[in-house]
Chain A
Amino acid sequence: QSVLTQPASMSGSPGQAITISCTGTSSDIGDYNYVSWYQQHPGKVPKLILYDVSVRPSGVSNRFSGSKSGNTASLTISGLQAEDEADYYCSSYSSTSTLFVFGTGTEVSV
């Protein structure tokens, strides 16, 4: 089963910005805007923080932003805060028989 590729870990200092990449194919990210990002703190339930590539659900901090270029989606966390320490997963619909894929996940340290 194919997955979307993310860096395993990233780190930054408080106040800095980091950008997490999520690389797929022309059958998923490259062709559809059903790209979303989830934040998961240890032992907690995943939380939707971006959908449709760049839309923030109500209540999600505007420090989270998203974009897409070709087959790669990106999540930028600006003004890093300690509470941003978590795992982040991208996901996308796929037009292949796979149907849907999550990213490999990125552990963010602040």
Chain B
Amino acid sequence: QVQLVQSGAEMRKPGASVKVSCKASGYSFSDYFIHWVRQAPGQGLEWMGRINPRSGGTNHALKFQGRLTMTRDTSISTAYMELNRLTSDDTAVYYCARDLSSGWDWQFDLWGRGTLMTVSS
């Protein structure tokens, strides 16, 4: 079954870091970019960045530069998103999503179920 399975809900204090995982199954993990998208409560979708699972190369949205780290472990078909220096504004559901086609696409046909991350003192 083609799917992305994300890690469970997290709670952090301001200033802390969080690392969310996204395990792919049912397809060749290295062939499709993985993107990270978040959605704050009652808000719209916000693109954070993407990783090329084959090369490990990444692209970040400008607002997350210096705070966001995306990595992957091809041996277990898993992508990771680490966000540090958390504030309450980072409270959101974090999704991983796969490109529609291999190569260069920027359109997402497969989504994880989301990881709720709450930042509160």
Contacts of A47 in B (CB 8 A): 111
Binds A, one of B15-23, B59-67, B71-79, B80-88: B59-67
Q: A-side binding surface: helix, strand, loop or mixed?
A: strand
Say yes or no: A100-B47 contact (C-beta < 8 A), given A45-B113, A45-B114. yes
| A interface residues, how many (CB within 8 angstroms) | 27
**Cross-chain contact B109 with A57 (CB below 8 angstroms):** yes
Complex contact B63–A100 (CB within 8 A): no
Check: A48 CB closer than 8 A to any chain B CB. yes
Q: A10 to chain B: closest CB distance in Å? A: 15
Q: Tally of A-B residue pairs with Cβ under 8 A? A: 65
**A89–B106 CB distance below 8 A:** no
Residues of A within 8 A of B (CB): 1, 3, 34, 36, 38, 40, 45-48, 51-52, 57, 87, 89, 91-93, 97-105
- Bitwise interface map of B from 84 to 121 toward A, beta carbon under 8 Å scored 1, else 0: 00000000000101001000011111011110000000
